[in-house]
Amino acid sequence: MRRDLALHLAVIAGLAVLSVLLPPYHHTNTARIMLLAVYAMGYNIAFGYTGLLSLGHALFFGAGMYATGLLMELGDWPAAVALPMGLLAGGAAAVAVGLLALRTAGVSFMIVTLMFAQAGYLLVMYFTAYTRGEEGFNLARAARAIGPLDLSSDGTRYAVALVLFAVALLGQLALVRSRFGRVMVAMRENEERSRMLGYDPFRVKLIALGVSGLYSGAAGAAYGVMFGYVGASFVATQFSILPLLWVLLGGAGTTLGPLLGAVLMFYLIDIASGYTTAHLAVIGVALLVLVLFAPRGLLGVVRERLVRWLP
């Protein structure tokens, strides 16, 4: 555990050092990536550690983003109070979906979560008087502050994103190294044997999905406030698929895989879009190579072949 903790603290320290070294463009991108990595960590808890293949996580991300954004925009709530509401909204949405979706399994679970996410997207589009549909809305710069911290400024945004990322990363490590984390993995590997040992699969999966929703809601709420925009594109199906790709690329069931996958995918899209409008084709080729040569993801291969203690 000390070795695991040292590795994760080193990653956090490295990101802190980068805040001083990076030029403005990459400085902003890194803050964005850290928030997306928190979202990917939430997905990793459900999929990588518990085996819940969901296509509905955009609903949880969007619930956090819209709960916080609408409270600030329509209710004039301060960001310090609205942000925790976004976290709770993501967790509540996950539990509500889980109470119904977890009565299914496998492909059926995947389809049901996709349907819930699509229903959430349609709700956003239906209540355009409040959500402004696909156009979305911008949050006033003056409202994007917590006390003396101006979350719209580059330096403060990076620092707050780093703090959120650090808490999420260390929380994920503590969870997967705990007794409950081992039960989650047992559910992923052999649900029936876990049931025979006295564990309730429905309860364990519901708790895991709820925690996953809390992570996703926190990421969505912070993303909306820090970058000042709330829009329907963050609730679309594509935003449910992206965390799956990040986790698969970095390594499902590894604590640092979501960060690595988010970094690589973000810059792969960024670089490819500079050369061609068919950048999604480049992503498809990259994923095909991944499936053929590193089906466990990059850190999954590293753990399997080189560093077996990697969490």
Q: What is the pLDDT of residues 259-302, one digit of tens each?
A: 999 999 999 888 888 787 777 787 888 888 887 888 888 888 88
Give 232's contacts (C-beta < 8 A, 6+ positions apart). Answer: 121, 124, 125, 131, 133, 134, 136
Into how many domains does the chain fold? Answer: 1
Residue 28: the pLDDT is: 92
Residue 292: the pLDDT is: 82
How far from 238 is each of 74, 113, 172, 242, CA to CA, in Å? 27, 14, 25, 6
Domain assignment present for residue 287? The answer is no
Residue 134: the pLDDT is: 87
Domain assignment present for residue 247? The answer is no
Alpha-carbon gap, residue 60 to 65, rounded angstroms: 9
Domain assignment present for residue 299? The answer is no
Domain assignment present for residue 195? The answer is yes
Domain assignment present for residue 264? The answer is no
Residue given tokens 């802190």 in the structure block: 16
Regions of the chain short of the pLDDT cut 70: none
* Two tokens, residue 266: 């973000």
Residue given tokens 């068919």 in the structure block: 278
Domain assignment present for residue 70? The answer is yes
Residue 291: the pLDDT is: 77
How far from 153 is each of 7, 157, 298, CA to CA, in Å? 30, 6, 34
Domain assignment present for residue 275? The answer is no
Domain assignment present for residue 55? The answer is yes
**pTM higher than 0.85:** yes
Domain that holds residue 29: 2-236
Find the helix or strand (DSSP H, E) in which 249 lies: helix 238-250
Within 13 Å of residue 20, how many CA atoms lie on the same side as its CB? 4
Tell me phi and psi for residue 297, to 5 degrees.
85, 165
